[in-house]
Amino acid sequence: MNHKIFRTRLVSGGLAAGLILLLSSCGKTPTVAADQQSGSASGIASGAPAGDYVLPADPRGVATARVEARQLPDYLEIAAHIEADPTRVVHVFAPISGRLISVTVRPSDHVTAGQTLAVLASSDVAAARAAYRQAAADNEVKKKALARAEDLYQHGALAAKDYQQSQADAQSSSATLESAVERLQLLNVEPTGSSDQIKVLAPRAGVVIDLGAAAGEFSKSLDNSSPLCTLADLSTVWALGDVYEKDLATVKVGEAADVQVNAYAGETWRGRVGAISDQVDPNTRTMKVRVVLPNSNERLKPEMFGSIRLLRSTQMGVAVPATAVLREGSAGSVFVQRAPGHFERRAVTLGRTLDNDQVEVVSGLKPGDTIVTQGPGLLQATASDP
């Protein structure tokens, strides 16, 4: 009787242990399934979902296009700045020494050729007029003396050497008079008059880019180290950049170049490479590249910063509109059609940003794929797990 009781208890204990093991194992199964389900959900959230995206009932705002391979340009970008053409820049100096009565222009003023830039008072004006009057009187005397000598020589009453001397005197006085006249013309002063003031005139049309004098100052004429003002013709300007030695082989004189400046985002000026320097800067290991740009509206100003873009090469590749790409940090994805009206979201590797709001796709797409180019955000709410 005692052995039966022991066996009954042993069986009961074994059943209880088995039941505990069974219940324990059953309890772990839901936990593992939940973990797997959670991991799958997080994987979808972190990558491109593999669900089915259906075209909305109202497809307005969604556009598709086929992906095609085409030649993609590879550009060389060079930092640059704008400068005035040195051959079109004029430094204006006063022709004589004197005191500045007035300066009639200001920086950024546009002037025409012959316009008055400043008024100067100088005693040299009176001296120039006096020299002219003296030369004119002497020339008149010498002309009359030559006429008498010629008459006497023709009648044999004057030796040949005396006649020749009269001719030389007349020529000398005429040259002195011409010099006095040119001096007055340089000063822009009339032979007759009593004023000691002269006008400093603009030698050419242009923009006043620098002013180096003010009314009341004393000008030392050409001995002065600073000009009264500086004029520049900005109808043509230069874009100067530094190209490294390793990129020099891709730059050629005469090739087309696009220039952009920071002041006008999105605008491009088209010019040509005018010259490449013949000397390498030993500090930066670069050479100067000059691009000549038309600037008829004078929007490009000296010392503006920008860049020069030169076409280096072209290669076959795939590019899509920037509106087709959904970005999540550094990653990107696009919607690719897998059946009419049904799309999948596919991760892509992006490359350079191209012109016309195009983005290079390095991997993830192939020619012939149909993608959503506009309104990809409208498809995100239509996802359903397959």
Domain holding 141: CATH number? 1.10.287
Nearest-angstrom CA–CA distance, 336 and 379: 11
Nearest-angstrom CA–CA distance, 22 and 332: 48
Per-residue pLDDT at 382: 65
Q: Determine, yes or no, domain membership for 175.
A: yes
CA 384 to chain centroid, in Å, comes to 50
Q: Determine, yes or no, domain membership for 140.
A: yes
Span 43-56, pLDDT tens digits:
333 344 456 788 77
Residues 103 and 211 in one domain: yes
For the domain that residue 344 is a member of, what is the CATH number? 2.40.420.20
Q: Determine, yes or no, domain membership for 34.
A: no
Query: Which residue has tokens 């690719």?
Result: 336
Residues 106 and 219 in one domain: yes
Span 34-46, pLDDT tens digits:
333 333 333 333 3
Q: Is 52 exposed, middle or buried (0-12, 13-18, 19+ CB in 10 A)?
A: middle
Q: Determine, yes or no, domain membership for 214.
A: yes
Residues 247 and 227 in one domain: no
Residues 109 and 213 in one domain: yes
Residues 119 and 211 in one domain: yes
Q: Determine, yes or no, domain membership for 17.
A: no
Nearest-angstrom CA–CA distance, 123 and 336: 87
Residues 308 and 332 in one domain: no
Q: Is 98 exposed, middle or buried (0-12, 13-18, 19+ CB in 10 A)?
A: buried
Owning domain of residue 186: 125-195
pTM of the model: 0.62
Q: How many domains does the chain have?
A: 4
Residues 172 and 275 in one domain: no
Residues 376 and 319 in one domain: yes
Per-residue pLDDT at 315: 80
Residues 61 and 190 in one domain: no
High-pLDDT (> 90) share of the chain, % = 39
Helices 124-154, 160-187: axis angle to 10 degrees equals: 160
Per-residue pLDDT at 300: 94
Q: Determine, yes or no, domain membership for 368.
A: yes
Amino acid 378 reads: L
Residues in the chain where the model's pLDDT stays below 70: 1-51, 57, 221-225, 380-386
Per-residue pLDDT at 322: 87
Beta-bridged to residue 259, according to DSSP, are 269, 308
Cα-only R_g, the chain: 45
Q: Is 309 exposed, middle or buried (0-12, 13-18, 19+ CB in 10 A)?
A: buried
